[in-house]
Amino acid sequence: MSDPGTTLAAWHATVWAMLAAGVRDARAPARLPVLATVGVDGWPQARMVVLRAADAVAGVVEVHTDVLSPKVADLRTTPRAALQVWDAGGRLQIRLRCAVRVLTGAAVQGQWGRVPDLSRLAYGAVPPPGAPVPGPGDYGTEPGPGRFAVLRCEVMAMDVLHLGTPHRRAGFDRADGWRGQWLVP
């Protein structure tokens, strides 16, 4: 992705174009954002995830996960997350502040139906993700729709940093209709 342009509107559009590219192209920079949550113990927790959906009109992105993974417990306790993307080629950092809903069961039947068989193995480790085991291979998988969750991340605010010459930064808020504001980098 190249220069985000010179207007706030162009920057906003660039962010959503990058997110959309991440969903459809496994090699795009936004394919693998870092998802940060507030841990149930109060410590920050960050991990890489695959971006599965990006809806510019609704301002929503989605991530798939195992319902028994610790991040789901984090989000059920504190339904807030940050997503971070770095586009090294475009020298652009995107940070999204999100309000997250954990969707399961009938609400995610459609998405589960589109998960390829091999990928389904990611949703069903026994014992569950993060559980202590005697050795590194001492776990199995019992994948199924009951273990599948979609993290529906409603973007509330964005922070965008472009490391060009000069460095430039902008903030965008849902509350003001994504009007945007230039910020000191």
Ligand X SMILES: Cc1cc2nc3c(=O)[nH]c(=O)nc-3n(C[C@H](O)[C@H](O)[C@H](O)COP(=O)(O)O)c2cc1C
Binding residues for ligand X, per CB under 6 A?
A: 32, 45, 47-50, 63-66, 69-71, 129-130
Distances (CA, A) of 135 to 66, 123, 131, 140: 21, 20, 12, 12
Distance CA 59, CA 16 (A): 9
Q: 157 with 166: CB under 8 angstroms? A: no
Q: How far is the CB of 56 from ligand X (least distance, A)?
A: 21
Instruction: Give min distance, CB of 142 to ligand X, in A.
Output: 16
Nearest distance, CB of residue 90 and ligand X, angstroms: 20
Report the distance separating Cα 56 and Cα 50, nearest Å: 17
The CA distance from 16 to 27, in Å, is: 16
Sole residue written with tokens 């028994």: 68
Q: Which residue's CB is nearer to ligand X, number 36 or number 155?
A: 36
Shortest distance (Å) from residue 179 CB to ligand X? 32
Closer to ligand X by CB, 6 or 43: give it: 43
Residue 130 or 144: the one with the smaller Cβ distance to ligand X is 130
Q: Which is nearer to ligand X, 90 or 129 (CB)?
A: 129
Residue with tokens 């014992």: 127
